[in-house]
């Protein structure tokens, strides 16, 4: 499981011209799954994300979590996180989990997140238009 965590001042997702998810400050998450991913990995990742201290405190030190700042999360499925471009110029996505299985895990991931924090989403497998302001910029890659 790979998640790109991007600290954001605001973010939204549109599918077919309609907003499917919108947040003020918090995280934009790009989420990808591979074979072997399971509930234990999801729970570890959710705990890591909501407790990741990458927001500045009153002294300008990155010492606060998204929970501390009462932020939200925009969660976006992203199978291309498992692109392999070692050979040739067209990436292979063979390491990405197949759609049916990945959809189930993505839904489970979002359900686990919602136990902790407000979560907005895109639509799995759709052509999504993501708009956001990366704050910092701060971008962290998590993998489990």
Q: Which of 80, 111, 133, 139 is catalytic?
A: 80
78 belongs to the catalytic site: yes
Kind and range of the H or E element at 46? helix 39-51
Q: Which of 27, 33, 55, 79 is catalytic?
A: 79
The packing angle between helices 99-114 and 39-51, to 10°, is: 40
Place of tokens 């890659």: 141
Q: Are 132 and 12 in contact (CB under 8 A)?
A: yes
27 belongs to the catalytic site: no
6 belongs to the catalytic site: no
Q: Which of 78, 109, 120, 132 is catalytic?
A: 78
Place of tokens 């902790």: 116
Q: Which residues are catalytic?
A: 78-80
């Amino acid at each position: 499981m790979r998640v790109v965590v991007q600290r954001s001042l605001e973010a939204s997702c549109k599918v077919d011209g309609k907003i499917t998810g919108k947040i003020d400050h918090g995280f934009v998450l790009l989420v990808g799954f591979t074979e072997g991913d399971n509930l234990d990995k999801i729970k570890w990742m959710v705990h890591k994300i909501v407790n990741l201290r990458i927001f500045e405190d009153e002294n300008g030190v990155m010492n606060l979590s998204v929970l501390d700042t009462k932020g939200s999360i925009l969660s976006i499925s992203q199978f291309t996180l498992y692109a392999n471009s070692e050979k040739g110029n067209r990436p292979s996505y063979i390491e990405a989990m197949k759609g049916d299985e990945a959809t189930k895990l993505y839904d489970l991931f979002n359900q686990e997140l919602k136990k902790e924090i407000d979560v907005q989403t895109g639509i799995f497998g759709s052509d999504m238009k993501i708009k956001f302001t990366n704050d910092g910029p701060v971008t962290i890659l998590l993998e489990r």
